[in-house]
Chain A
Amino acid sequence: MKTFLQFALFMLIAFVVILMAITLGEVGAWYFAWLIGTTMIVLIAAAGGMLLDAQDEQAARKAAAAARHD
């Protein structure tokens, strides 16, 4: 259920963002938007990968701490 709500929320956000972009105008400076957008997509994807490593390390630390506790 939690996942479903999250899914619905994210889909809603996506649609609102798309709608906003649409109402901002059809004739935008799209070439410029491409440059910015591509840079952003590449950097966010890269950051996502690094975040995964950070999450792993955190999980490992937690597991190690729990093991010491026992």
Chain B
Amino acid sequence: MHDPSVVDLSRLQFALTALYHYLFVPLTLGMSFMLAAMETVYVVSGKAIYKQIAQFWSKLFLINFALGVATGLTMEFEFGTNWSFYSSFMGDIFGTPLAIEGLMAFFLESTFVGLMAFGWDRLKRGQHLAVTFLVALGSNLSALWILIANSFMQNPEGAHFNPVTLRMELTSLPDLIFNHDAQAKFVHTSIAGYVTAAIFVAGVSAWYLLKNRHVELARRSFRMAALFGVLATAGVITLGDALGFIGGQAQPTKLAAMEGLWKTEQAPMPFNAIAFPSQKDHVNYGVIQVPYALSLLVTHSLDGTVPAIDELERTAAERIRNGIPAVSALQVLSAKPGDADALAQFQAHEKDLGYGFLVQRYAPDVTKATEADIAAASRDTIPQVAPVFWSFRAMVVLGLCMLAFFVLALIYTMRNNVERQRWLLKIAVCMIPVPFIANETGWLVAELGRQPWTVYGVLPTWMSASTHSLGYMIFSLIGFVSLYTVFIVIEMYLMVRTIRRGPDDEHAPSPSIEPQAARLAGQAEG
């Protein structure tokens, strides 16, 4: 049997290492394409300042990239080390996109990132630009395959359970790849990375403008970041809505938790703008509602409804009852493969096998499960509402703030006088942490909202973990926390140091237009 605290620690360790990894990934996804845009201007216009711009930001890109690669290794190991049952049960499906990621994307990204850093003098301009684009393409394709794998966990399509090999097996790779959840999630995540990079570049450029340093580099970077960011943010919001809609259909429990829906309501449903959900009492406290809004938001119509938690728990209890014979038949099949009676019983109840596993947590012999066990297991099907509810709201609010910021930034930079708007520049610097927080809360909504499943409706989290001792888990957790703490300190220090030093001014080309620099210097003094 699994020790519940080992499962909890495995979850904690995975969440910490994934959230940590995800601090660095979005910046890589977006910055690589921003570098490509900057270098495109260099190649097209031939102005040396753009080479300096591309080289300076690529220095920051590489500091971030190193830690992204390092912490990504952890993720590759962790499925096997800490989630071994998950890995053997789902590996036939889940391993495929991971391996293709290596073949198609990670090799591309990693091989060319070396040329991107070291190849400035060895490659022609056009060749180097192509290399930069390949790095950007590779890193985003990498995200694509990882998110295809993740979307299988959210909305398992293209697979079935094989009672002979006792595991899930692939039935269609195209179904896996073109899973609607994967499509929306990839685009949402990838361009959330663009937003992250745009805010980062805009924020650092704003800091230079405030200090009146590297003005020519900063003005151009700010302009490009504002354009890059405003388009990307609009895209993120659009895709976020699509993802919410698709995810809500595939995972009604996640949607109910995101919106804090305890009791089924008539259409048009009101939207809980603010609420303090209580898991124990199945009710929200301190609610502020917007009438009609929820029906509009989640069903895009006034007469649509979605199931609430009370109804979802009732459905879950029925499915658990139906899943129990599936689990007991499987136990027979494991010892006697091909037993006809067991196979018939299994096939009749196959679709609720995962729900049968859920109750096994309380009744190791599922045929002896009591009503109390079934009730406890059906309560388990609802994720922790409050953190999902609040993470979701934080993500949305931060997304809208970033949109407003980019619109403002765009107005001033297009008028070509952003360097005089010190208040806006100060806001830009303060915005730097915002996309990172939004990214992390997005991860929390997606993955906390999926609980209690690793693969929604198929495999419960409690079964998925490896059968380690508590001591092993504490050892590894302490190891990760101390190592990662040292890493982040070093990384932040080097980032800040590199930003403070700025581009190498000795080798810097003189600004293309001297009077402009003089005008700016005059402004700063005045």
Contacts and interface: CB of A to CB of B under 8 A. Distances in A.
Direct A–B touching, Cβ under 8 Å: yes
Interface of A: 3, 6-7, 10-11, 14, 17-18, 21-23, 26-31, 33-34, 37-38, 40-46, 48-53, 55-57, 59-60, 63-64
Contact of B241 (A22, A60, A63): A22
Among all A-B residue pairs, the 10 with the closest Cβ atoms: A30-B183, A26-B245, A48-B227, A45-B228, A21-B238, A45-B37, A26-B242, A46-B40, A45-B224, A42-B37
B187 interface: yes
- B contact residues, range: 35 or more
Summarize B's interface: helix, strand, loop or mixed.
helix
B184 interface: yes
Given A30-B186, A52-B223, A7 B242 contact: no
B38 interface: yes
Contacts of A43: 37, 40
A43 B180 CA distance: 28
B41 A14 contact: no
Given A11-B407, A31-B178, 15 more contacts: A3-B411, A7-B407, A21-B238, A22-B300, A28-B242, A30-B187, A37-B235, A41-B33, A42-B228, A46-B37, A46-B44, A46-B224, A48-B413, A49-B41, A53-B47
B235 to A, nearest CB: 6
Given A11-B403, A27-B246, A30-B183, A6 B234 contact: no
A64 B404 CA distance: 37
Interface stretch (B91-99, B268-276, B508-516): B508-516
Contacts of A60: 513, 515-516
A66 to B, nearest CB: 11
B347 interface: no
A38 B36 CA distance: 11
A32 B471 CA distance: 48
A65 to B, nearest CB: 12
A22 B231 contact: no
A6 B415 CA distance: 12
B57 interface: no
A2 to B, nearest CB: 10
A59 B237 CA distance: 37
Contact of B407 (A14, A31, A44): A14
Contact of A26 (B140, B241, B407, B410): B241
Nearest to A44: B227
A53 B40 CA distance: 14
Contacts of A49: 37-38, 41, 50, 220, 223-224
B45 A50 contact: yes
Interface string B140-164: 1000000000000000000000000
Contact of A41 (B231, B238, B519): B231
Among A18, A22, A26, A59, the one with the most B-chain Cβ atoms within 10 Å of its Cβ is A26
Interface in B475-526: 512-513, 515-516, 519
